[in-house]
């Protein structure tokens, strides 16, 4: 083993080292103030590392082919780092119920590192270990906090997560049985040669795997934990789950299904494409129908994130056609969705910290109480709806177009379902926007979010607008990342 192997997983190592440092600093000084800057520094270092990898176009495999680095993993790594950085910078006001700052930041960094490794894994064992590490860290993150709601959420997340992991493992075992290898490359070859006698086993395997990763992606019917966990966890943790964990879930789904289960010409891919098509349609419909009825904004965003996962899964269904259009669309969507969701959730943190509640009616007249905050939140809601001139508009357009470009009639009907769901989602997103912009405030006192929150909100809003008007840089990055999957 040479040093290059460690270079490939450099950003993750930086993050893990940072996590340890954060813990030590917390122990040594006992002062809360020093851990957050340390975490930020770590993230900056990791981002720099990943950026140099990107600049040098680093590519290759290590650890016996279990771990690889390419444009896809770097894209995912940078996305995850940006999300985590936003949570670290702006999450503080939402942590009133969390006493253990050192643990919080250390776990956040560790979770990010393991998700980056997850995206880099090219072997079933490595994938499973990375996935379980990610989950284990996240169970604790959800449970952090001094009240019963957080504990309940943590336990719920743990139990459903454990079942999902077991199901995933069954699927992996079946794949191993078929291919005789845990390497995705070998599995891909074995699946391509699948005859009728093993076809059923492959189908069962990918259904189980879809269920396992579906838990991370939070798509129906593996979504039951979402509203409770989103509501119960400290809001910064919710942000992290909704943006980072979802991105990692889709990243590993792309890797597993595109690389491992043969996106393209195999008969198997046509089968799992339809599975994802059905899951997408059900996810967005049920997610939207449930979101309409919510009055707690965290639950509303929870259901909306299920519906959005359905939109992204339309891109997964398009993956089956073998072109890189579907993966590129998924990656572009994940990028814009991160900016959008971060903006929305961090605004929710800021309002929650001030108002002490996450009820929809407390957003009445936010425009007059805190104009900047209100404008960012409305922009993010427009982006979630998919209205121009925001990034969400182009993301949906790109995903839907990639599905139509798949050239199959059932994909067009899937898009029909998706566009009607957009209309459905407009109802609750815009009702919320209207409340913010126009209703009379219950409490007219103006307020200013902290400077750090403002910075992240501004960045999110600029991202949402910039990629809505000048999408080409992100589209190009997503496309070259997707090309690395093939």
Contact 328, 402 (CB under 8 A): yes
Q: Does 486 bind other proteins (CB under 8 A)?
A: no
Q: How far apart are the first and last CA of the chain?
A: 26
Cα atoms in the 13 Å half-sphere on the side-chain side of 401 = 11
393, 395, 453, 484: which one contacts other proteins (CB under 8 A)?
393
> Based on CB atoms, which residue is closest to other proteins, 42 or 422?
422
> Based on CB atoms, which residue is closest to other proteins, 133 or 401?
401
Contact 281, 222 (CB under 8 A): no
Q: Does 473 bind other proteins (CB under 8 A)?
A: no
Q: Does 287 bind other proteins (CB under 8 A)?
A: no
Which residue blocks in 57-147 are alpha helix, DSSP H? Answer: 71-90, 101-120, 124-143
Residues 6+ apart with CB under 8 A from 254: 72, 316, 319, 327, 330, 331, 485
Alpha-carbon distance 369 to 390, whole Å? 24
Q: Which residues pair with 183 in a beta bridge?
A: 123
> Based on CB atoms, which residue is closest to other proteins, 149 or 368?
368
Q: Does 26 bind other proteins (CB under 8 A)?
A: no
Q: Does 346 bind other proteins (CB under 8 A)?
A: no
Residue 342 CB, nearest approach to other proteins (Å): 22
Output the 3-class SS for 390-441. Answer: CHHHHHHHHHHHHHHHCCCHHHHHHHHHHHHHHHHHHHHHHHHHHHHHHCCC
**Percent helix, strand, coil in the chain (nearest 5)?**
80, 0, 15
Taking residues 358 to 387 in sequence order and writing x for each that binds other proteins by CB under 8 A, - otherwise, the string is ------------------------x----x
Query: Which of these, 396, 395, 413, lies nearest to 404 by C-alpha position?
Result: 413
Query: Which of these, 172, 187, 179, 174, lies nearest to 129 by C-alpha position?
Result: 172
Q: Is 324 helix (H, G, I), strand (E, B) or coil?
A: coil
Residue 329 CB, nearest approach to other proteins (Å): 9
Q: Does 412 bind other proteins (CB under 8 A)?
A: yes
> Based on CB atoms, which residue is closest to other proteins, 97 or 479?
479
Pick the stretch among 86-94, 145-153, 209-217, 410-418 that binds other proteins (CB under 8 A). Answer: 410-418
Alpha-carbon distance 246 to 302, whole Å? 12
Residue 401 CB, nearest approach to other proteins (Å): 5
Q: Does 325 bind other proteins (CB under 8 A)?
A: yes
422, 453, 454, 480: which one contacts other proteins (CB under 8 A)?
422
60, 173, 427, 442: which one contacts other proteins (CB under 8 A)?
427
Q: Does 426 bind other proteins (CB under 8 A)?
A: yes
> Based on CB atoms, which residue is closest to other proteins, 99 or 469?
469
Distances (CA, A) of 267 to 193, 202, 213: 10, 11, 22
Pick the stretch among 44-52, 336-344, 399-407, 453-461 that binds other proteins (CB under 8 A). Answer: 399-407
419, 442, 443, 458: which one contacts other proteins (CB under 8 A)?
419
Site of interaction with other proteins (CB under 8 A) = 324-325, 328, 382, 387-389, 393-394, 397-398, 400-402, 404-405, 407-409, 412, 415-416, 419-420, 422-423, 426-427, 430-431, 434, 437-438, 471-472, 475-476, 479
């Amino acid at each position: 083993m040479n040093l290059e192997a460690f270079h490939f997983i450099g950003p993750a190592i930086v993050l893990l080292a940072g996590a340890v440092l954060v813990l030590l600093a917390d122990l040594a000084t006992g002062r809360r103030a020093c851990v957050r800057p340390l975490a930020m520094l770590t993230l900056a270092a990791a981002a720099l590392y990943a950026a140099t990898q990107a600049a040098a176009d680093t590519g290759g495999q290590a650890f016996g082919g279990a771990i690889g680095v390419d444009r896809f993993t770097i894209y995912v790594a940078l996305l995850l780092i940006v999300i985590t950085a936003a949570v670290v910078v702006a999450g503080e006001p939402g942590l009133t119920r969390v006493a253990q700052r050192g643990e919080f930041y250390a776990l956040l960094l560790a979770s990010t590192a393991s998700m980056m490794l997850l995206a880099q894994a090219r072997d079933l064992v490595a994938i499973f270990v990375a996935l379980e590490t990610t989950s284990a860290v996240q169970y604790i993150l959800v449970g952090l906090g001094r009240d019963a709601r957080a504990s309940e959420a943590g336990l719920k997340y743990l139990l459903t997560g454990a079942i999902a992991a077991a199901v995933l493992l069954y699927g992996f075992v079946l794949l191993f049985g078929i291919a005789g290898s845990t390497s995705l490359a070998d599995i891909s070859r074995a699946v391509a040669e699948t005859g009728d006698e093993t076809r059923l086993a492959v189908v069962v395997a990918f259904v189980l795997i879809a269920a396992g990763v579906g838990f991370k992606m939070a798509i129906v019917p593996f979504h039951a934990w979402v509203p409770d966990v989103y509501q119960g966890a400290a809001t910064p943790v919710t942000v992290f789950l909704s943006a980072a964990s979802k991105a990692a879930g889709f990243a590993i789904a792309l890797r597993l299904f595109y690389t491992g289960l043969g996106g393209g010409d195999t008969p198997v891919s046509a089968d799992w494409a339809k599975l994802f098509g059905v899951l997408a349609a059900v996810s967005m419909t049920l997610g939207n129908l449930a979101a309409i009825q919510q009055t707690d904004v965290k639950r509303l965003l929870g259901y909306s994130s299920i519906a959005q996962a359905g939109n992204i899964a339309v891109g997964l269904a398009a993956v089956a056609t073998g072109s890189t259009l579907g993966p590129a669309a998924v990656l572009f969507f994940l990028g814009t969705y991160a900016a959008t969701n971060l903006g929305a959730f961090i605004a929710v943190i800021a309002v929650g910290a001030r108002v002490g509640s996450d009820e929809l009616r407390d957003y009445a007249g936010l425009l007059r109480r805190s104009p900047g905050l209100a404008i960012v939140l409305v922009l993010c809601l427009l982006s979630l709806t998919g209205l121009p001139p925001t990034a969400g508009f182009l993301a949906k357009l790109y995903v839907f177009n990639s599905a139509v470009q798949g050239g199959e009639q059932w994909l067009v009907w899937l898009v029909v379902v998706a566009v009607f769901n957009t209309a459905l989602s407009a109802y609750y997103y815009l009702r919320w926007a209207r409340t913010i912009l126009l209703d009379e405030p219950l409490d007219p006192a103006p307020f200013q979010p902290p400077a750090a929150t403002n910075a992240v909100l501004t960045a999110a809003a600029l991202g949402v607008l910039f990629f809505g008007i000048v999408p080409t840089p992100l589209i190009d990055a997503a496309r070259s990342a997707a090309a690395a999957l093939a």
